[in-house]
Amino acid sequence: MAYILTFFLLQVVLASSLSTIKVPLDSSKRILRPDIYGYSIEPSSVDPYIQSNLSSNILKNIAEIIGKPAPIRVGGNIADQTQFDPSLGTPSSALPDDTKVEVFRIRKDWFAGWGDYFPSGTDFIYTLNLRNTTGSWSTAMKEAEAAVNVLGESLSLIELGNEIDHYISKGWRKPGWDTKQYTRQWFQLTDQILSSAFYKQAKHKPHFQAAVFADPPWVPDQQEEVDDFDIINVTRAGLVDPSIIQTYAVHLYPQSTCDAARASRLSLNLLSDHQVVWTNISQYIPQEAAARAANSSLVLGETNSASCSGRSGISDTFGAALWGTDLVLTAASIGIEQVFFHLGHQSEYSGFTPLPYNYKGEDLSAGIRANFYSHFFLAHILAGNNGQPLEITALPAANASDFSGYAIFAGEQQLNLEKLVFIDLGVWNSTNGVHNPSTLSSTDSDFASSGTRPQRKVQVDTPWKPGTRIEILKLQGPGTNAKSDVNVSGVSLDSRTGNLRGQTKAEEGIVQNGGLVQIELLRAEAILIQKA
């Protein structure tokens, strides 16, 4: 009797731990662009970044995998603190220094260094100073002329101002600054640019990325001032012209270090949570619809784990790599076409830092942080379609706090299932790999989960023919809290050079009867399944 009971219980346990995930073929799919993952670089950080070859090698390796370089937006707070000064002795100059910038001065050849440094074919977005209206935006006009002339066809889009919904709280516009005033000024400045001689004579005429709003629509305590800035309201106010507005940008930082109240809520557990990612991203569904109704599209023009430069121990962990992967795929699944991760050359959330520096009493080396590996893993997801867009849908049966899943399609009518991605976002803390010399050692974790690291069995019901050979690539690390020892199936990037290190050891499998695919993934791990 006891024996039979045990057997019965075992069956129940097995059946519940091996739920079958069906891939819905008729669900709505959204575009997954090969250049969905980009970087946004603070203007005063560009020169430090290009002083070492680290970023150039990292970005070249990524571009070779995907078949298309990551797009680079040069913008951020400093964009509206930039002055154009042809008599400057150097291409750029940050005052008082490049970490506490009050004024950033540039001359024309500041733009000249970018084309040689970044992989050829890199698309740039440049943010003009919209704050300074002196002389009918003479600063912005000179910046635009220099950028258009020097960057040529690599200047894909121009932005006007950064986080313009914070202009009142910064004292840059008077109360009353709203979508109507902004729209009027936006068209004044773009009309000036479009009718200028430099623009008319340019072989390549860049279009614009509009909006550039900071505040998340649904989170009042993250809103800097009361205003009406969102994509729905601004398109209603008339900021619509698909012949020149290619995209609208919004910025999203799920957490924040900007003030004590928000800093006290910072949490790695909260970052590594798919339902949180969904809560954060789903507020943009109506925003994306408004952008699409205006025949343009929506991008996350700046993101990272926590605003105001991030927090070491959270932002620079393997958990942040799993978060970044989930964020990009969730964003794509609601129609957000690009996601730009913000970089400062000494910021705690930067995926890589170009130069050694002294910070909070420690000597940090240049290097690559664990969170960067979201980009390296996504490169494999985006690869293999000759640099052409894929399509994506989120899987309803893989949609929990600790688990998410996506199906990726290609081919004629985008009907061919090409890839599956699953992410286990459950928190597993390890004592291995907790240190990284490019991050603060004071934030190295001493949390450790007890017992053995759990493994999740996943069975997927696919339209793939039985017998089809598949390969599995893994984004793996010692644990959510780890800052190093992260790789994609054995391959990592050398922290000093940015060169690839190691051989890919993909696991192989075979599609079973009925199209079933069975895989296992560790707690805190992501896998990519694709036809071999």
The footprint of ligand NAG (CB under 6 A) covers 52-53, 83, 132, 134-135, 138-139, 216-217, 219, 222, 228-230, 233, 240, 242, 252, 254, 268-269, 275-276, 278-280, 294-295, 313, 394, 396, 399, 427, 429, 445, 447, 449, 476-478, 480-481, 485, 487, 490, 502
Taking the complex as a whole, the smallest distance from the CB of residue 145 to ligand NAG amounts, in Å, to: 14
Which residue of this chain has its Cβ atom nearest to ligand NAG in the complex? 445
Taking the complex as a whole, the smallest distance from the CB of residue 246 to ligand NAG amounts, in Å, to: 13
If the CB atoms of residues 188 and 279 are measured against ligand NAG, the closer one turns out to be 279
* Cα–Cα–Cα angle for 363, 352, 507, rounded to 5 degrees: 125
Q: How far is CA 470 from the centre of its chain?
A: 28
Tokens of 399: 């949609």
Three-state SS sequence of 37-94: EEEEECHHHHHHHHCCCHHHHHHHHHHHHHCCCCCEEECCHHHHHEEECCCCCCCEEE
Tokens of 413: 């009518």
Tokens of 516: 């079933």
Rounded CA separation 298/314 (Å): 27
If the CB atoms of residues 159 and 316 are measured against ligand NAG, the closer one turns out to be 316
If the CB atoms of residues 268 and 511 are measured against ligand NAG, the closer one turns out to be 268
Tokens of 30: 């959204």
If the CB atoms of residues 132 and 346 are measured against ligand NAG, the closer one turns out to be 132
If the CB atoms of residues 340 and 511 are measured against ligand NAG, the closer one turns out to be 340
Three-state SS sequence of 172-185: CCCCCCCHHHHHHH
If the CB atoms of residues 308 and 531 are measured against ligand NAG, the closer one turns out to be 308
User: Are the C-beta atoms of residues 297 and 337 closer than 8 Å to each other?
Assistant: yes
If the CB atoms of residues 277 and 381 are measured against ligand NAG, the closer one turns out to be 277
User: Are the C-beta atoms of residues 198 and 155 closer than 8 Å to each other?
Assistant: no
Taking the complex as a whole, the smallest distance from the CB of residue 349 to ligand NAG amounts, in Å, to: 15
Rounded CA separation 247/103 (Å): 28
Element (H, E) at 363: strand 362-364
Backbone angles phi, psi at 357, to 5 degrees: -160, 160
Taking the complex as a whole, the smallest distance from the CB of residue 231 to ligand NAG amounts, in Å, to: 9
Rounded CA separation 440/279 (Å): 30
Taking the complex as a whole, the smallest distance from the CB of residue 50 to ligand NAG amounts, in Å, to: 10
Instruction: Calculate the alpha carbon distances from 524 to 332, 402, 418 in Å.
Output: 22, 9, 24
If the CB atoms of residues 262 and 531 are measured against ligand NAG, the closer one turns out to be 262
If the CB atoms of residues 114 and 229 are measured against ligand NAG, the closer one turns out to be 229
If the CB atoms of residues 202 and 400 are measured against ligand NAG, the closer one turns out to be 400
Taking the complex as a whole, the smallest distance from the CB of residue 382 to ligand NAG amounts, in Å, to: 20
Ramachandran quadrant class, 459 (left: phi over 0; alpha: psi -120 to 50; beta: rest): beta
Please give the single-letter amino acid code of residue 200. Answer: K
Taking the complex as a whole, the smallest distance from the CB of residue 52 to ligand NAG amounts, in Å, to: 5
Taking the complex as a whole, the smallest distance from the CB of residue 351 to ligand NAG amounts, in Å, to: 18
Rounded CA separation 294/232 (Å): 10
Rounded CA separation 165/247 (Å): 17
* Structure letter (DSSP) for residue 453: P
Taking the complex as a whole, the smallest distance from the CB of residue 178 to ligand NAG amounts, in Å, to: 8
Q: Among candidates 332, 380, 379, 377, which has minimal Cα distance to 31?
A: 332
If the CB atoms of residues 196 and 399 are measured against ligand NAG, the closer one turns out to be 399
Taking the complex as a whole, the smallest distance from the CB of residue 241 to ligand NAG amounts, in Å, to: 8
Rounded CA separation 316/442 (Å): 13
Point out which residues pair with 422 in neighbouring strands.
405, 527
Taking the complex as a whole, the smallest distance from the CB of residue 399 to ligand NAG amounts, in Å, to: 4
Q: Among candidates 192, 483, 166, 418, which has minimal Cα distance to 492?
A: 483
